[in-house]
Structure 1
């Protein structure tokens, strides 16, 4: 995967960031960008699910069936928030790779 075409990540948190064009309900207008962001959200949610699997809950403010039921939904939303921030760059890499493949298909070099 060629990551040289990806924009650089700012060195500091205070650096100016470009905000991608948003379509309906805050989702990216570009379909490739939207799918790449959804893929990143799903992947981050799965990683968080693995990370939270070993955490024991209990006591006065945790545990029980309700926590088991709702933890997956919470982790999905965490994944969406992390993907929307674009801080990991997984979505940008997927988007660049898809764009490269579409370019090769247009040129007729992909089999």
Structure 2
């Protein structure tokens, strides 16, 4: 029989029950995303202040182009730092967001 479905012909993955996503899980995911974005913005501001005093002229400087694109560089560096674990700010912010929502 072509096209007949039985337990023997079905994939084992189709037979397992998938976990149901609850509203609390969605809130936790959104809280984590918001906390990571907050940490990334914080780090970008901190890196921006750190790079503010660096002279862009000289033999290896980027000149006016470096000044223009420095904010993009600091944003990208901050996002990568956050992905790599950051400074722990996202965990604290997420915990506080969930506490305000009544979740722990």
Measured against the shorter chain, the TM-score band is: 0.5 to 0.7
What are the superposed Cα offsets for residues 16-52 of structure 1, whole Å, 9 maximum, x if unpaired?
xxxxxxxxxxxxx811101100110000000000011
1:102 to 2:101 alignment: yes
Number of corresponding residues: 76
Secondary structure (helix, strand or coil) at the match of 1:32 reads helix
Give the alignment's TM-score, normalised by structure 1: 0.64
What are the superposed Cα offsets for residues 89-111 of structure 1, whole Å, 9 maximum, x if unpaired?
1000000000000008xxxxxxx
Which has the higher Rg, Structure 1 or Structure 2? Answer: 2
Alignment of 1:1-111 (within 5 A): 30-103=29-102
* d(CA) in 2 for partners of 1:44, 1:56: 21
The runs of 5 or more residues in structure 1 that have no matched partner are 1-28, 105-111
CA RMSD of aligned residues (A): 1.6
Would you identify which runs of 4 or more consecutive aligned residues in structure 1 move more than 3 Å?
none
Contact 2:44 2:74 in 1 (8 A): yes
Higher normalized helix content (fraction of residues): 2
Partner of 2:18: none
